[in-house]
Amino acid sequence: METNSVSKLLVLVFTVLFVGSELIHCSVTYDRKAIIINGQRRILISGSIHYPRSTPEMWEDLIRKAKDGGLDVIDTYVFWNVHEPSPGNYNFQGRYDLVRFIKTVQRVGLYVHLRIGPYVCAEWNFGGFPVWLKYVPGISFRTDNGPFKAAMQSFTQKIVQMMKNEKLFQSQGGPIILSQIENEYGPESRALGGAGHAYTNWAAKMAVGLGTGVPWVMCKQDDAPDPVINACNGFYCDDFSPNKPYKPSLWTESWSGWFTEFGGPIYQRPVQDLAFGIARFIQKGGSFFNYYMYHGGTNFGRSAGGPFVTTSYDYDAPIDEYGLIREPKYGHLKDLHKAIKQCERALVSSDPTVTSLGTYEQAHVFSSRNGACAAFLANYNSNSAAKVMFNNRKYNLPPMGFT
């Protein structure tokens, strides 16, 4: 009896150890349809929340509101100048506690897209570069330049190693499923010619060589070399295509509004237009989109970029500068996310069949082998609503609208 009990206990222990090892050996890959997490293609809905633009006391509430709004992923830049204010001296305290922020995301149950840059733009002072960087002898920023590449590699390695030490990459059982190197470098690369192209290839190779076990992204970088995924930023990305047929269509910045400058207007983007852009991207085969911003927050101290960006970085986001839900934007998008998630299996398993329903009206129908089906009915007329027949049912479509 006693021996039998011991045997059962050993079996239980080995089972727990085996299951535990399975849990921490997670995988993130991709194919032409989607990001694949643990063997499952996913439609991923993401939102930008920048940890230095709110306080640690706000983080969990913001992230829970994002989750309640239907998000899967929290996206943030990493801000080099606040973390390394002088060479080799690092600060990860208070609002700059990146590990705490990512662990908060993990605790709430969401994934992370970590956009290391380390150039980030983001209407942030000096684009995130520390001021001391400009005084490094012989340096030239964001090009095939030895002193710059050495400094950039050192900081990137620092951040990646911090994440590895805390087991925060999905390959280690953590929440980070994507990382970004550089930021919107495409136009700069084209202007620089050969030096820009060489720098792009170097940055991609350097990042991939860090062995994070998750895919790397370059946004607005049409020549992003394999295996890095190029991604779109903009108000609309339905015409975007990745640079290789085996890469998924990612939208790293869907602009929910715009930043404010002293003396300038406070921009607002109607949620109907934002939702239309998202729906159109998904119906064209997109599988990852990120709201820039989902919570904009505040440019504390002297962190605002120039020349006239205000302290407020509200961005007309679904969660306002102070952490309050903004309606109708938040609720409208939450309903959209619910509808997209109901269609997820069909969307990631098939390509659409497109049918004309009228001069400006179309149906995109996704049908998977296991019987899942989803249809996007669209009216591209910006001036008038439309009535269409689909599967023997009548539908009313608003101007530039979907159902």
> Is the pLDDT at 11 greater than 60, yes or no?
no
Q: Residue 22 pLDDT > 90, yes or no?
A: no
Q: Give, as one character, the DSSP assignment of residue 352.
A: P
- The catalytically annotated residue of 60, 166, 184, 261 is 184
What does the alpha-carbon distance between residue 170 and residue 212 come to, in Å, rounded to a whole number? Answer: 9
Structure tokens given for 270: 């109607």
Element (H, E) at 393: strand 393-397
| pLDDT score of 186 | 98
What is the model's pLDDT at position 15? 40
- Contact present, 218 and 247 (Cβ < 8 Å): no
Q: Across residues 61-77, what is the average pLDDT?
A: 98
**Rounded Cα–Cα distance for residues 204 and 382 (Å):** 41
3-state secondary structure of 366: strand
**Alpha-helical segments (H) within 166-296:** 186-192, 194-208, 271-283
pLDDT of residue 195: 98
Tell me: pLDDT of 1 over 80. Answer: no
**How many angstroms separate the CA atoms of 162 and 339, rounded?**
37
Phi and psi (nearest 5°) for 122?
A: 60, 20
With bands split at pLDDT 50, 70 and 90, how would you rate the model's confidence at 192? very high
**Mind giving me the DSSP string for 98-143?**
HHHHHHHHHHHT-EEEEEEES---TTBGGGG--GGGGGSTT--TTS
Beta bridge partners of 100: none
Assigned token pair, 44: 């991923």
pLDDT value at position 371? 79
Decide if 84 is catalytic. no
Per-residue pLDDT tens over the stretch 121-154: 999 999 999 999 999 999 999 999 999 999 999 9
More confident residue, 339 or 24: 339
Query: Quick check: is 123 catalytic?
Result: no
- Residue 3 above 60 pLDDT? no
Asked whether the predicted pLDDT for residue 23 surpasses 90, the reply is no
Can you give the pTM of this predicted structure? 0.93
Q: Can you give the residue ranges of every domain in the chain?
A: 22-348, 351-402
Instruction: Single out the residue of 111, 59, 43 nearest to residue 336, CA to CA.
Output: 43
Residue 24 confidence (pLDDT): 52
Q: Is the pLDDT of residue 4 over 60?
A: no
Q: Using an 8 Å Cβ cutoff, are 182 and 218 in contact?
A: yes
User: How many whole angstroms separate alpha carbon 344 and alpha carbon 339?
Assistant: 9
What is the CATH code for 22-348? 3.20.20.80
At residue 291, the pLDDT reads 98
Q: Residue 399 in contact with residue 383, Cβ under 8 Å?
A: yes
Percentage of the chain with pLDDT > 70?
94
pLDDT value of residue 403: 85
Strand residue runs (E) in 250-308: 250-255, 288-295
Residue 109 above 70 pLDDT?
yes
Cis peptide before 307 (omega within 30 of 0): yes
**Active-site position among 123, 253, 321, 344:** 253
Mean residue pLDDT across the chain: 93
